[in-house]
Amino acid sequence: MAAPPAMLLLMIVFSLAHESIAQYQVSKTFIFRIDEESKPSVFPTHYQWYASEFADQSSILHLYDTVFHGFSAVVTQEQVARLGQHPSVLAVFEDQRRELHTTRSPQFVGLRNQRGLWSETDYGSDVIIGVFDTGIWPERRSFSDSNLGPIPERWKGVCETGVGFSPNNCNRKLIGARFFSKGHEASRASFNDTLEFRSPRDADGHGTHTASTAAGRYVFQASMEGYAFGVAKGVAPKARLAIYKVCWKNSGCFDSDILAAFDAAVTDGVDVISMSIGGGDGISSPYYLDPIAIGSFGAVSRGVFVSSSGGNDGPSGMSVTNLAPWLTTVAAGTIDRDFPAEVILGNGRRLSGVSLYSGVKLKGRMYPLIYPGKSGVLTESLCMENSLDPEMVKGKIVVCDRGSSPRVEKGLVVKRAGGVGMILANGVSNGEGLVGDAHLLPTCALGANFGDEIKAYIASTPNPTGTINFKGTVVGIRPAPVVASFSARGPNGLSAEILKPDLTAPGVNILAAWTNAVGPSGLESDNRRTEFNILSGTSMACPHVSGAAALLKSAHPDWSPAAIRSAMMTTATVVDNTNHLIIDQASGNSSTPYDFGAGHLNLARAIDPGLLYDITTHDYVTFLCSIGYAPSLIQVITRSPPNCPPRRPFPDNLNYPSFVAVLPLSSLSTKTFFRTVTNVGPPNSVYRVRVDTPADGVLVTVRPSRLVFSDAVKYRSFLVTVTADARNLVMGEAGAVFGSLSWSDGNHVLRSPIVVTLAQPL
């Protein structure tokens, strides 16, 4: 017998109410920013206070007391609502999952054996780089401590014991290793011991790769199965490494664990933090709700340089992440080395691409070609798992569209369906940007134009055929560098006045050490094991800058993090090895500061920049005041209450080595920037200004146009005024026009980008 309508309605209401209550009682990890000064004296420690008033002792995951003050705990929404009203709670934010931004490159950024920055800094000896990533495979030759001196006395860190890892795995090179898994475990409710090591040991490979890129030792006869053969080395080969495992295989990296790593790294005594991590809500969240921004502020305010990857969501505009002005945000470019391959069609056409396939070759034999996307089924065009019909694919070379699943995984799908090879075709979003991969079957990656051509050939030919040739390693590629198509682009979506990314470094097809836990493709079914692997991403660019910072810190121990960044930005190059403006790989057109920041890292010049744009902690606090944050919100970032000026300052006046003029949309207007430079070159120097005007209709004036320094005068200030009429200004595709300002004394040239845009990003 059916229930009466009234009874049904009551049952539905009860069910919805029960579901709402259940959701309200679901436990999640939250991070609590606590006013440290408000602890009642009855509690001997902050931990005892937290366990008594805020959360059960068993639910508390991490305590923070160096770069951030507070704790993280697993609590219900009901508890969060209640705790949020506590007068000592300054902020609460839910734990977020972040993503990793996944030989020859040191020479490409201007480093040379026995001379220059390497020689003058003893290859970064005794500078300590902390790497936030997936851990490390300590047995690799890149982490040998041969001929290294004692561990620096200031080091206070430890080498934690865990599965497959003991203090014996550390040495004078790898001086410390920790792992942070409480946030990860709280989010997943279990730990997969078959995939991961509950220790600093690296099950993924990403962390081993980034650590050796920053500071790997010289390793002779290095290669990835024959590709990129030569001498592998990091940017700072004698720098010490401290590993902070915050990212977990197939699980990402959680804010609560990252904050704990910041706390530990600064307390341990690192000089540089390398963090190839981003995503989560970091792109859109204000700085006071972004734990990476908060943790890095605490580190930078204590003199620690923090390098971060800009993200791999390019070439879309406003895709760059890690936006805080105290972070150094890195874009990715190519180097002058490539791994060419080509597809030869039955009609004789040769289509150039790239590949890192190292198995049995096709030896010129022609095979039938098939494009599953011809059916109109999206999953088939993308060669997704279980999408291919073995009867259609067996014995053929399969054309797969790039996107939606890992590139190497598409090859595995083709191989399991009986295909003999794969052609990976870029779409519009990837353009002509190509990335080499260690595929499991003969594969060639093609740009969008050649991808379209091969599909047209298949569609118009009764019996289309083709083969793939592999050409190994080629150096001396021109043009290089080129901004990688995947590299995230500006403008800065939080603070338009701050140019992001800051600069570009090598991030395409980078050879570095690799874990022994997984093959070079990263697939569980890949039984190959290699000492080195070749990867691409802003994750690979970031440790180049981290290693560069270590070298500069070794050469100039008194330089602040901002001074080190200034030296790299103002000496960066904006031209390639053909002496033309660096190209955007996605479009084939000239790139802009929204793509490459101040330019491509050039360490041959960065060691002696002449002048520096320095920034103090007080300057950063003033910047936070200038963007309208309330003092209580600024304190979430800074720990101590800010003293904002009575009159709100201008964000444009942060002493950044770039100039972004955000002008009103429909009027003649002027923007003025105030900057101060510090002379670190010869005492008696005279610098003269040069301006490359962004566009017709834009007037840029600099006062004074000459800066005179002496033994008694180390600092000089100047004003830059940008005037334009938005009604008559023609913007490019990026919604901005670009120029530059340079200071030169005849020996040094410091270049800063100028950006003029007409609207604040949304």
Evaluate whether 426 touches 434 at the Cβ level (below 8 Å). yes
Gap between the Cα atoms of 395 and 439, Å rounded: 17
User: Distance between CA 358 and CA 529 in Å, rounded?
Assistant: 13
Task: Give first-to-last CA distance, the chain, whole Å.
Answer: 57
**Distance between CA atoms of 75 and 25, rounded to whole angstroms?**
9
Among 101, 206, 556, 600, the active-site one is: 206
Whether 204 sits among the annotated catalytic residues: the reply is no
What phi, psi does 326 have (nearest 5°)? -85, -10
- Residue 440 near residue 332, CB atoms below 8 Å: no
Q: Which residue has the tokens 């005892």?
A: 48
**Integer Cα distance of 680 and 657 in angstroms:** 15
- 8 Å CB contact between 498 and 650: no
Asked if 482 contacts 584 with a C-beta cutoff of 8 angstroms, the reply is yes
- DSSP type of residue 715: E
Asked if 305 contacts 271 with a C-beta cutoff of 8 angstroms, the reply is yes
Candidates 133, 204, 313, 502; catalytic one: 133
Q: Tokens in use for 307?
A: 């390098």
Catalytic residue check, 539 = yes
**692 noted as active-site residue:** no
CB 630: neighbour CB atoms within 10 A?
13
Closest CA to 466 of 443, 449, 488, 482: 443
The residues, any chain, with a CB within 8 Å of residue 83's CB and separated by 6 or more, are 32, 54, 55, 75, 89, 92
Given 539, 546, 554, 591, the catalytic residue: 539
**Tokens 């650590």 map to which residue?**
211
User: Where do we find the tokens 């845009």?
Assistant: 757
Tokens of 119: 């020689």
**Ramachandran region, residue 634 (left: φ > 0; alpha: ψ -120 to 50; beta: rest):** alpha
When computed from its CA atoms, the radius of gyration of the chain, rounded to whole angstroms, is 27
Q: Which of 299, 267, 305 is nearest to 154 (CA)?
A: 267
| 688 C-beta neighbours (distance < 10 Å), count | 14
* Residues belonging to the active site: 133, 206, 539
